[in-house]
Amino acid sequence: MRATSATAIGVGATAAVIVAALVQAGGDSGPVGTGALSATVPTEYRSLVEQAGRTCPEVSPNLLAALLQQESGFNPKASSPAGAQGIAQFMPSTWESHGIDGNSDGKRDVWDPEDAIPSSGKYLCTIAEEVDGVPGDKRSNMLAAYNAGTGAVKKYRGVPPYKETQNYVQTISARADESPSGGGAATTEQAATAVKAAESKLGTPYSWGGGNAAGASRGSCCSPNGSSGAGTNGFDCSGLVVYAFAKAGITLPRTAATQYAASDPVRPGEVRPGDLVFYGTTAENIHHVGIFVGNGWIINAPRPGSKVRYDPMDMMSDLYAVARPAANTNKEI
């Protein structure tokens, strides 16, 4: 539907994030089903998502909720550099063709969730019909078409070989299928345990690819800058996070981007020690993560040649978002 995933970005300790658990989507799952809404949705949008998520058999409330979380983090004022607009991130041309007057007030307003959410459900149903018959998983093809366009899905006879689109499909599918059980976000006790565990590793060398639930380990080759961790026993940024939260009984995915996707939103003003601070330009391009410890500081494994240390949150100019690890996360990517 658009050139790049849009996000609702907040800078500093009050960042609000898009939530999604990125795990490998299964085979030919077909329609997602019509189960009740169990995903976390802001109260003011729940009834809209419930109704729009039953527009056709190929769409469910949880699928639509996961899509809106990925698209905008439920921010009705979200916009992207590519021009996508509103809570469902419609491009102007797509809105012109597929936007509807969902609240019957006589106008179609892409910035009004009462129009945009029903339009998103209807558009998903439309593209589901357009890609019907394309080989592969029906739901994956539908989501890929929402992100990259039906033409690309038909051209490649399935999800196109675009990293962004593939991550997009995996993220939303996983979140839509996520069980509502498991205890929600990490508790304050778990967060404190994770912070203490990370602090116990202060001074440990940085190692690209290093670190796991058991502790420091030799890394691998190579970082985008060509640095190898194969000869260094230590942690990279996400390896430190995996270790710290394993000590708190929470299993997280291995990379910063998937840890972001496996965490819950932090509302403005609610950031607490143990929350994760992410850096990058989009959800798919997150490249660094640190653990918030309070007063604008994080603990992290910054870069090759450094050691685990404290840094200010604004250590990098592309602070993307803050999120809280989900206590029910139990799958490695």
- Number of H helices and E strands in the chain, helices first, is 10, 8
Nearest partner of 58 among 87, 32, 76, judged by Cα: 32
d(CA 77, CA 109): 12
d(CA 56, CA 327): 33
State yes or no: is 50 an active-site residue: no
Q: Hey, is 223 helix, strand or coil?
A: coil
Check if the beta carbon of residue 128 is closer than 8 Å to that of residue 144: no
Q: Return the residue matching tokens 């404290």.
A: 310
Cα dihedral 121→125→127→131 (10° resolution): 150
d(CA 103, CA 120): 14
| Adjacent-strand bridge partners of 311 | 298
- Cα three-residue angle 165-171-173, rounded to 5 degrees: 100
Of the listed 44, 50, 58, 71, which one is catalytic? 71
Find how far residue 326's CA is from the centre of its chain. Answer: 12
Nearest partner of 117 among 165, 40, 65, judged by Cα: 65
Task: Count other C-beta atoms under 10 Å from residue 268's C-beta.
Answer: 12
- Cα three-residue angle 317-71-299, rounded to 5 degrees: 35
| Adjacent-strand bridge partners of 185 | 326
Active site residues: 71
